[in-house]
Amino acid sequence: MPDRAAATAFVPGHVTGLFTVDRREAPAETGSRGAGLTLEAGVEVTCQPADRTTITLDGAPTSVESVSRVLDALGVEATVEVSTDLPIGRGFGLSGGMALGTALAANEAAGLAHTMNELVSVAHVADVEAGTGLGDVVAQARGGIVIRESPGAPPHGALDGIPGGGRVEYLALGELSTPDVLTEHPDVLTRAGTAALERLQERPTRSQFMQSARQFTADVGLATARVESILAAVEETGGVGSMAMLGETVFGFGTALSDAGYEPQVTRVDPAGARIE
């Protein structure tokens, strides 16, 4: 039998700065409002149709519910190879990134004929149903600095962006369970997220994004002592950092973290969004 075709997609990482939890009956209408940065660091997903689905992450066999759900929805069995330069489970939206990358690559490799909106919707629903994300997929599909004005996949959600990009620094310290936080604190998150988003919409700039994200971090009380001490050190140098939702991760624009004496990882805002490579 001839080798079946493989296809590869790239999806930017996504750091959420502030968000709400907007649950609706339909998963496609469920999601979050908020704002975040898509990153040039991200996930590469290669799919090759196969008799039985297997998933590897940087070469090691694993299971990712959002990815399995995408393949089920598309009716594809595939060998899925994920590689990433970002840490998983630390607030970089990798569950959504893996789901969207699988949707794009499987569509291409299996010769399906779905549109971008259809594939974004399949990946969004998979991430929502897995409990691992609410707004990453729609932001990752767009690229840039993304404001999620209303929740859900296309055609329900509405997005806007803050023009510009630039250098982003981060320190990924530890994991935070997305499903646990979303089920434990939805009201606190939504109250703080709504207020922070309103302030950002009054003045949609990169600087206000950081201020709103920092206020959100303070309001929701998820920062660990390690995160708090880094944020305080950054503020002492006149900079602003914030916490990546949802991970024990600190991020900032430009040289915010290195100016405070840390040795962060460095990436940039992704200008383009998810794409077939």
Ligand X SMILES: CC(C)(COP(=O)(O)O)[C@@H](O)C(=O)O
| Interaction site with ligand X (CB under 6 A) | 16, 19, 32, 34, 36, 91-93, 95, 132-136, 178, 245-246
Does position 95 interact with ligand ADP (CB under 6 A)? The reply is: yes
**Short-list 141, 140, 163, 139, CA closest to 151:** 139
In the list 35, 43, 88, 243, the residue contacting ligand ADP (rule: CB under 6 A) is 88
Tokens of 34: 């908020």
Phi-psi region of 75 (alpha: psi -120 to 50; beta: other; left: phi over 0): left
Stretch that binds ligand ADP, among 32-40, 108-116, 129-137, 150-158 (CB under 6 A): 129-137
**Binders of ligand ADP among 2-61, rule CB under 6 A?**
57
CB of 181 to ligand ADP, least distance (A): 10
Query: What is the x/- site pattern for ligand ADP, positions 217-256, by CB under 6 A?
Result: ------------------------------x---------
Residues 6+ apart with CB under 8 A from 216: 17, 18, 19, 192, 193, 196, 242, 245
Nearer to ligand ADP, 39 or 130 (CB): 130
Tokens of 132: 């691992």
Residues 6+ apart with CB under 8 A from 64: 55, 57, 82, 95, 98, 99
CB of 230 to ligand ADP, least distance (A): 19
Q: Which of ligand X, ligand ADP, none does residue 213 bind to, with CB < 5 to 8 Å depending on kind?
A: none
Using DSSP, state whether 188 is helix, strand or coil: helix
CA 205, 121, 180 angle in degrees (round to 5)? 75
DSSP letter, residue 29: T
Q: Which of ligand ADP, ligand X, none does residue 65 bind to, with CB < 5 to 8 Å depending on kind?
A: ligand ADP
Q: Which of ligand ADP, ligand X, none does residue 19 bind to, with CB < 5 to 8 Å depending on kind?
A: ligand X
Residue 163 burial by Cβ neighbours in a 10 Å radius (0-12, 13-18, 19+)? exposed
**Binders of ligand ADP among 169-228, rule CB under 6 A?**
178
**Short-list 264, 242, 243, 246, CA closest to 255:** 264
Nearer to ligand X, 55 or 245 (CB): 245
CB of 261 to ligand ADP, least distance (A): 27
Residues that bind ligand ADP (CB under 6 A): 57, 62, 64-65, 88-89, 91-95, 130, 132-133, 178, 247
